[in-house]
Amino acid sequence: MSFWHQDDGARLVVTCIQDVLDRELGGNLVGIYPYGSLAFGDYTPDTSDMDVLAVAATPPVEEARQRIVETLARRVPELPGAGLDFSLMDAADAASPPDPPSLLIALGMYRGWNWKPDVTFDEAGEPTGHIAPAVILQTGAHISGAPPAEVFSPVPRAFLLRAVRGSVAWWMQHDEIWMPRSAVLNACRAWRLAEEGVLSSKLGGGAWALEKGIGYDQMIAAAMVSQQGGPNPEVTIEQIRALLEETLARIDAVAG
């Protein structure tokens, strides 16, 4: 049984997304696919966002995209869960990954931010446009519609390295890191991609980093406990920045 069927909250959110897209896209909907922790099987309802990518055969009109966002923004906060990252992709881009990546809709909303929607349309350069299809192909994760192998083509490794580098560098742009566990574990999974070419969830990246002994063991272990619902890790911004900087160096060494 698929993982999202084993968690009541995840099942409710998936059903909501399916209902909205069936109504707005109809036969233009190619499929719906999870990525992130939901695809890797270590989704934690209290702390994990639900990451979902949908694919449309052709780009829907602007009015339909607006209705999708408005309906999800209204209905999802009434359901269980920590947050939602929802994206809509054109089937042509799924079949032949463009550079930079492109998304028809990129919607993020999180309980910790009072569910305030952060949305863009026709977003160029959003890393999710490369990372999500690669995760879906790697895991075979599939909610409905066409199987991943019939929809997505492999994303070049150079594209993936650039995408994860951007996500790590993003944390370096801030004087305060308000979610230490995410910064730490995101660095771990980026490091793993650089070393092994394997994509991971946050928890999977942390577990790999501890097994490989990259250093920062106490900080990584504390971040993993926090990701599973425990307290925020007691770490300094200097400690986090040291890990981020070393991760960037590892990515740059591989990327050349």
**How many Å apart are CA 222 and CA 202, to the nearest integer?**
13
User: 100 with 196, same domain?
Assistant: no
Are 92 and 16 members of one domain?
Answer: yes
Looking at the structure of the chain, the number of domains it has is 2
Query: Could you say which residues of the chain have pLDDT below 70?
Result: 1-6
Contact 60, 89 (CB under 8 A): no
pLDDT at position 1: 39
pLDDT of amino acid 128: 94
Q: Are residues 136 and 168 in the same domain?
A: no
Asked if 101 and 175 sit in the same domain, the reply is no
Contact between 133 and 142 under an 8 Å Cβ cutoff? The reply is no
The 8-class DSSP code of residue 108 comes to: E
**46 and 62 share one domain:** yes
Q: Which residues contact 140 (CB under 8 A, 6 or more apart)?
A: 147, 148, 149
d(CA 53, CA 5): 17
Domain boundary among 139, 155, 171: 155
Same domain, 99 and 196: no
Q: CATH number of the domain that 107 lies in?
A: 3.30.460
User: Do residues 29 and 136 share a domain?
Assistant: yes
Residue 6 pLDDT: 64
Residues 96, 189: one domain?
A: no
Range of the domain at 43: 3-155
Do residues 34 and 131 both lie within one domain? yes
- β-pairing, 50-56 vs 144-145, is unpaired
